[in-house]
Structure 1
């Protein structure tokens, strides 16, 4: 597999206080199977959909227990030191790294000026997702932030993104970040009506499912929560959810679509 262009989403993982419970939950909802945990890397365990690596889970690091779980999306970079400097120059914060992860690659953990935490990955032997946009695999992600203009400025300074505005979204402030002609990441402004002040800014990861309604039923039956949806869109039928340990994520059936594609115009 070719190394992904800079700024492309390339991997997702999450830490949980109860990693075994998380495996049972996502195995039921998304059909994942798991590799044996790797004790060299904090019992990190890759998740597979139809034999393809699509994500990973691990136990919470010692001393960090008690918080809600959260999915972390990684964006590709060929040079972690250069990306770390761009993050700082753009007003963000490097929380961890750059650090090597064996021969798998290298990583940064970063926070943007509005509080969105994400990872940066330099590929080694581990180049990222083995599959995308198929059942059980990553499909899309969106930056949810109250600091929308600051997010647009930050992400387009750190990565070679074109910022594009999506029109006709029912009053939502929604942009996409594009590499060339390809939109690779969304940006949603969090409004006070739908997002209480205690909900922090975050990166919402979408996983593909063959049937959105069935996936929602599996989530609620397994102790998770439905936050929004299901709803039909030109991109697919999706729902926003929370797992039993508090990690937010979304599911989308990209085969079930409704309506015309919105107009998208360049911002920068």
Structure 2
């Protein structure tokens, strides 16, 4: 083989090697771009939830404390703009389709815990149509409820005399309460907030359509810390059982009713399901 031929072969080999190297480099760059794009997408997808989590870590200071108005507004500003996608939900899911509107029997509520610690918890509630979360309280807790999907009827009460409610010693466990809310809420809507002794601390949810609610509880329920849930039913006070006397508008313009504490009703039982939405970085803040 001549010197020129050898040189031509070497030149072709070098060219093929360079082309292969270029292809490998381009492929790696392409994959890297894809990885970066995926990471960016995941970050964008979960950024609102992460912001909520970071803010909760700063706002909630543990049992016996209530966030100041500025911190309450801070969390509301985040929750008010949250969308189903921020927690991995979609309106296209079968659960939220019209054909899922009718469920035979007593539909059960499902709950998924996103995060829970001593100071606060984040959880999702899934209510099939007609499902009920019966009247229950939130002792010593500040609660933010954000309706993400669906329509829910919310009825809530505060004790008419909160100062004496802890010392009430009636054998019948019947107490007078003032109605805070009693209407339908449809997503998207503003966040509702309740406090240990105001804002509708005792409330119930009745799903008009399949619905999803994001709850922020600070601090969360805890039997060990004497923050167990109590349940109630509306009743008339006295011999009458006329349902019209369950609630009554009084001279101050507020509507009042009587609530009787009861054992945990069957419809209060929930099915725990895993949370499958965007993860939270506990060490981000």
Bin of the TM-score, shorter chain as denominator length: under 0.3
TM-score (norm 2): 0.23
Relative to its length, the structure with more helix (as a share) is 2
Larger Rg: 2
The one of the two structures with greater contact order (alpha-carbon pairs below 8 A, sep at least 6) is 2
